[in-house]
Chains A and B, each alone.
Chain A
Amino acid sequence: MSLSTPSARRQGLSDFIDRHFKLLTLAPALIVLVALTLYPIANLFVMAVSTIRFESGGEIWAFTPLINFKQLLNDQIFRIALWNTLLFAIASVAIEMVLGLGLAILVGSMTAFKGVMRTALIIPILMPPVAIGSMWKLMYSFDFGVLNQIVTGIGFAPVNWTGSPSLALWSVVIVDVWHWTPFVFLILFAAVEGLPKEVIEAARIDGASNRDLIFKIIIPLMMPAIVVALLFRTILAFKVFDEVFLLTSGGPGTSTEVVSLHLNKVFFQQNDLGYGAMLSLAIIAATIAFLWVARSASAALEKR
Chain B
Amino acid sequence: MAWKSKLALAATTALIISACPASAQDSFADVGKQEPITILINASPWYNGFEKVVGLYEEQTGNKVNLEVTPFNGMLEKARSAVRSGTSPLDLINVNATNSTEFYQAGYIEPMKEIDPSFEVPKEVLGLDDAGCWDEAKKYRICSSGKLMGYTPNGNVQLFYYRKDVLDEKGLKVPVTFDDIIKNCAVLQNPPESYGYLQRGERGDSIQYDFMAYLLAYGAKPVADPANGDYTVTINSPEAKAALDKFIEVAKKCSPQNYGTLGQGELIQLLQTGKGMQAHAVVAAFPNFDNPQKSAVVGKINAAPLPRATPEGKPGVAIGSWVFMIPKNASDAGKKGAVAFSKWFLTYKAQYEYALGGGIPVRTDVFTSDLKDKPEFRWMPAYLDEIEYGVQVYGYVEAPAVSEAVGLRLNQALVGEMTPAVALNTLAEDMKAIFEKGGRKTGTLPPLAD
Binding site for B on A (CB under 8 A): 54-58, 67, 77, 141-144, 152, 158, 160, 162-163, 165, 168, 248-255, 265, 268-272
User: Are B270 and A251 closer than 8 Å at their CB atoms?
Assistant: no
Complex Cα distance, B257 from A229, in Å, reads: 39
User: Are A160 and B258 closer than 8 Å at their CB atoms?
Assistant: yes
27 A-B pairs, CB-CB below 8 angstroms? A54-B105, A56-B106, A57-B108, A57-B328, A57-B329, A58-B107, A142-B257, A143-B192, A158-B257, A160-B257, A162-B258, A163-B258, A163-B261, A165-B415, A249-B202, A251-B202, A251-B203, A252-B260, A252-B261, A252-B414, A254-B408, A254-B412, A254-B417, A255-B415, A268-B77, A270-B400, A271-B80
Complex Cα distance, B72 from A105, in Å, reads: 46
List of A residues within 8 angstroms of B411 by Cβ: 251-253
User: Are B257 and A54 closer than 8 Å at their CB atoms?
Assistant: no
List of B residues within 8 angstroms of A143 by Cβ: 192, 256, 266, 269-270, 275
Tell me if B416 counts as interface (CB < 8 A to partner A).
yes
Contact of B203 among A56, A252, A272 (CB under 8 A): A252
List of A residues within 8 angstroms of B204 by Cβ: 249, 251
Complex Cα distance, B324 from A247, in Å, reads: 31
A55, A163, A252, A269 — most chain B CB neighbours (10 Å) = A252
User: Are B192 and A158 closer than 8 Å at their CB atoms?
Assistant: yes
Give B25-52 as 1s and 0s: 1 = Cβ < 8 Å from A's Cβ atoms: 0000000000000000000000000000
List of B residues within 8 angstroms of A152 by Cβ: 192
Known: A152-B192, A252-B411. 17 other contacts (CB 8 A): A54-B105, A54-B107, A58-B107, A143-B269, A163-B261, A165-B416, A165-B417, A168-B261, A251-B203, A251-B415, A252-B260, A252-B261, A253-B203, A253-B416, A254-B408, A255-B415, A265-B404
Complex Cα distance, B269 from A58, in Å, reads: 44
Complex Cα distance, B408 from A253, in Å, reads: 6
Tell me if B67 counts as interface (CB < 8 A to partner A).
no
What is the count of residue pairs linking A and B with beta-carbon distances less than 8 angstroms? 96
B108, B259, B260, B414 — most chain A CB neighbours (10 Å) = B260
Tell me if B180 counts as interface (CB < 8 A to partner A).
no
Min CB distance, A178 to chain B, in Å?
A: 20
Interface range, B side: 35 or more
List of B residues within 8 angstroms of A163 by Cβ: 257-262
List of A residues within 8 angstroms of B84 by Cβ: 54
A55, A67, A160, A249 — most chain B CB neighbours (10 Å) = A249
User: Are A55 and B261 closer than 8 Å at their CB atoms?
Assistant: no
Given A54-B108, A143-B266, is A253 in contact with B102 using a C-beta cutoff of 8 Å?
Answer: no
Tell me if B382 counts as interface (CB < 8 A to partner A).
no
Complex Cα distance, B256 from A289, in Å, reads: 42
List of A residues within 8 angstroms of B172 by Cβ: none
A143, A152, A165 — most chain B CB neighbours (10 Å) = A143
Min CB distance, B168 to chain A, in Å?
A: 25
User: Are B400 and A271 closer than 8 Å at their CB atoms?
Assistant: yes
User: Are A162 and B105 closer than 8 Å at their CB atoms?
Assistant: no
Of all chain B residues, the one with the shortest Cβ separation from A51 is B437
A144, A165, A168, A270 — most chain B CB neighbours (10 Å) = A270
User: Are A141 and B266 closer than 8 Å at their CB atoms?
Assistant: yes
Complex Cα distance, B269 from A253, in Å, reads: 23
User: Are B106 and A57 closer than 8 Å at their CB atoms?
Assistant: yes
